Structure 1
Amino acid sequence: MSTPDANRSSAPPVRVVVIEDEPTITRAIADRLTAEGWDVSTALDGPTGVRTVAEVRPDVVVLDVMLPGFDGLEVCRRIQADEPVPVLMLTARDDETDMLVGLGVGADDYMTKPFSMRELVARLKALLRRVRRAAAPAPSSEAQTALELGDLMIDRAGRRVTRAGVPAHLTPTEFDLLLCLATTPGTVLTREQLLADVWDWVDATGTRTVDSHVKALRRKLGADLVRTVHGVGYALELPGSAEGEDAADGADEGAAQA
């Protein structure tokens, strides 16, 4: 059964591949996404998942971390090397190290089991909106404007980032997060604001996603770049500023306490 939105749309259905080794969870996800009007393919192990993604060319992938054959991290590496695709990872462990590794191999978001199907659908829809927004051409005046903040250069049109002339390879979500912070440098944005503006997600249960992506940005661009305001959120500091340098000392500690 399709939703009213799906009935009104003439666009082809969203293609999604679900790679999950627990048949009960796989069926539940597939049934829910099919009810949304999406075209769902499934795989129960890593090698089959990689082949299925290559055959289907999905719009989005739901990927479990723990899989037979090879794990979800290796699946993510392989499918992103072939042709980048938005990936939402599922993990049974609420371990930030696993989350950071997943983001590092190209995942865009993650959810910890157990999860609600309502939240899964909302996260996937938000992820697809972000991808479409990133692919849409920017207004000409904005597209021609690169942000220069100290030694940090953000090319909006090309979606490229360099720091001190060194390219940083960011995921689409990391780029959007950096751009959101860089648009108002020095201004503290709450986790809820960032979740709404970057992820299109308005439920505060996803704030750890923000924390993990900030940690990933720090690892790729330097710990001095994003300042933690305890109990509030984050601000981008001008690279090389005194506040930014002070922030480096407590950056990882602040994220851990967030």
Structure 2
Amino acid sequence: MQTSPKQLLVVDDDPAIVQLIDIYLANEGYTVFKAADGEEALDVLARETVQLVILDVMMPKLDGIEVCRRIRAERGIPILMLSAKAEDMDKILGLATGADDYMVKPFNPLELLARVKSLLRRSYSLNPQLQQAADPGVIRLQSLVIDKTNHAVTVEGREVTLTSLEFNILYLLASHPGRVFSAEDIYTRVWGDPYYQSHNTVMVHISKLRDKLEKETEGAKLIQTVWGVGYKIDR
């Protein structure tokens, strides 16, 4: 397990600010993804594993406050918010939305770098679950080990034989602990096709997956049904 997260996302519609931050972060060995607006930021987060977001408030298409809300709905990665607004209420709104820190423009790049390091150190060293979520190649769930890289699931060293679809369903649920996914969510994410209300495909695959997991884990109920809503896995 890595102890020093390295991939960061910088979101700002001012290319000069993005370039400045990129220079300082890259010099410290971080990999920097860049986005010029909120929609692009969410696209990057959907594709890449990111351990911290530096997020401007005032942006076109989707502002930083809304992006922060959407990030917080799915993940707990640290967020450092930037804004030209220095009023206390603006800071309070940013922090109340879910930001972990707030800096006012113009800022000292060395101070920003120090805050980034502090957020990474504090967030990941004190929160093992967040560390695992940030680097989810291997997920440990009770006696179950889910290895995304090798597309393998084991229980105390014994391999659990799953189909590709069963593995992808399990990984989706396990990588978002506590989040409830509807049958439509699961189908569109795992199958990649439009969902039709008459489908019972997800239910059938969940049932088969449960049977295999319970057989190998001596009856552990890992996948929970939230009636009328969907399915989830808790940690």
Map Cα deviations across residues 52-99 of structure 1 (whole Å, 9 max, x no partner).
Answer: 122222110000000100110000001111222100000101011111
Q: Which amino acid counterpart does residue 51 of structure 1 have in structure 2?
A: D
2:115 match: 123
* Residue 93 of structure 2 corresponds to residue 101 of structure 1: yes
Map Cα deviations across residues 115-147 of structure 1 (whole Å, 9 max, x no partner).
Answer: 01100000000011111232159xxxxxxxxxx
Q: Which amino acid counterpart does residue 107 of structure 2 have in structure 1?
A: F
2:26 match: 34
1:44 match: 36
1:69 match: 61
Closer, same or farther: CA 39–13 of 1 in aligned 2, 3 Å: farther
CA contact (8 A) 1:15 1:40 kept: yes
Closer, same or farther: CA 51–71 of 1 in aligned 2, 3 Å: same
1:81-92 aligned within 5 A: 81-92=73-84
* Residue 50 of structure 2 corresponds to residue 53 of structure 1: no
Dislocated runs of 4+, deviation >6 Å? none
- Identical-pair percentage: 43
- C-alpha separation between the residues in 2 aligned to 1:130 and 1:11? 11
1:18 match: 10
Aligned length: 128
CA contact (8 A) 1:13 1:37 kept: no
- The 3-state SS of whatever aligns with 1:18 is strand
CA contact (8 A) 2:4 2:120 kept: no
What 5-or-longer segments of structure 1 have no aligned partner?
1-9, 138-258
Closer, same or farther: CA 136–12 of 1 in aligned 2, 3 Å: closer
* Residue 111 of structure 2 corresponds to residue 112 of structure 1: no
What 5-or-longer segments of structure 2 have no aligned partner?
130-235
Q: Which amino acid counterpart does residue 69 of structure 1 have in structure 2?
A: K
1:1-258 aligned within 5 A: 14-136=6-128
- The 3-state SS of whatever aligns with 2:126 is helix
CA contact (8 A) 2:6 2:30 kept: yes
- C-alpha separation between the residues in 1 aligned to 2:118 and 2:5? 16
For the aligned residue pairs, the C-alpha RMSD in angstroms reads 1.7
CA contact (8 A) 1:13 1:39 kept: no
- The 3-state SS of whatever aligns with 1:114 is coil
